Amino acid sequence: MLPITAITCLLLSFAIAILVDVPLSRFLLAGVSKENKTSRIDQLSETASERFTQWSLNHTVRNQTTARAWTAGTIALFLCVVFAFTQIPTVFFPETDARDLSINVEMPPTTTLEISQAVADDLGQHLRSKDYFESVIKYVGRRSTLVSSGELQPSQASYLVGFDAVFVPEEQRQFTSFEYVDKLRPQLEAALTSYPGATLVINSQQAAQNEDPIQVEITGNNLSELRRISGDIQLALRQIPGTTDVRDNLGDLQPDLKLIPEREQLDFYGISEEQLAAQARYYSNRHGC
């Protein structure tokens, strides 16, 4: 978008220069008589040029030493400006002082609603103690959707816990919202140490979009290989200072076993339903289903 914008601005500037300057010159040159071909604008330009020439002769090119000093000073000033420009910090994803905040906790898939309720109660009590929150809404069995993260994950399940949090207005708090989030994240992570396998994700409103600013897409047909590659990438990303909420959208998949018996074959071989169920349990235990 930036090159297209620059080209458009240049074309508009050229069009304005052609369409406006020529008609405007009629008013500036209207008072020029035939005997005197020099307009007032030309006279001002000549006066300014003459004064600048005299100033240069008296100060910048008075002798070789002065000329060298001015040249060296100009080069030094240019280098200082370039160095100062390189020191300007660059922010690719600027933080905004937004009030909406989504806090989601994902537990292992085998987690029951009772355990999720306990997690929600512990974190909810911690969040209610923060005076910079205007309101906090707790969800057990579903995610918070106040701030969308763009994840392709289930929104309702027994192992999900979500919180909708709204900051108090800016004039009623001391710091910006993202500064509070940076302090809140380690506190919630410490509270979740009592629940193995819990994953914390905090989503705040972004300047341009609410989706995660950095997304890595991996495609393939082998789910086990995708999971291995995902683990390697997550490990590499977590080693970068400043990275948070590194995760994938594979989830903790559980293998399922589905049996479709053919009654004619069961009757032919004399296999009862109890024997079939025992074989299914044996297969499930052996293969970890």
Q: Strands 199-204, 100-106: parallel, antiparallel or unpaired by DSSP?
A: antiparallel
Place of tokens 């040029």: 49
Contacts (Cβ under 8 Å, ≥6 apart) of 41: 28
**Structural element, H or E, at residue 204:** strand 199-204
Structure tokens at 199: 């994953």
Per-residue pLDDT of 147-162, as tens digits, reads 776 665 677 888 899 9
Going across the sheet that includes 156-167, the strands are 133-142, 156-167, 100-106, 199-204
pLDDT computed for residue 151 by the predictor: 60
Average pLDDT score, the chain: 81
> Given pLDDT bands bounded at 50, 70 and 90, which one contains residue 35?
low
Q: How many CB atoms are closer than 10 A to CB 281?
A: 12
Tell me if 204 sits within 8 A of 98, measured CB to CB: yes
pLDDT in tens, 90-116: 766 666 778 888 999 988 888 889 999
- 214/190: higher pLDDT: 190
Name the phi and psi angles at 80, rounded to 5. Answer: -65, -40
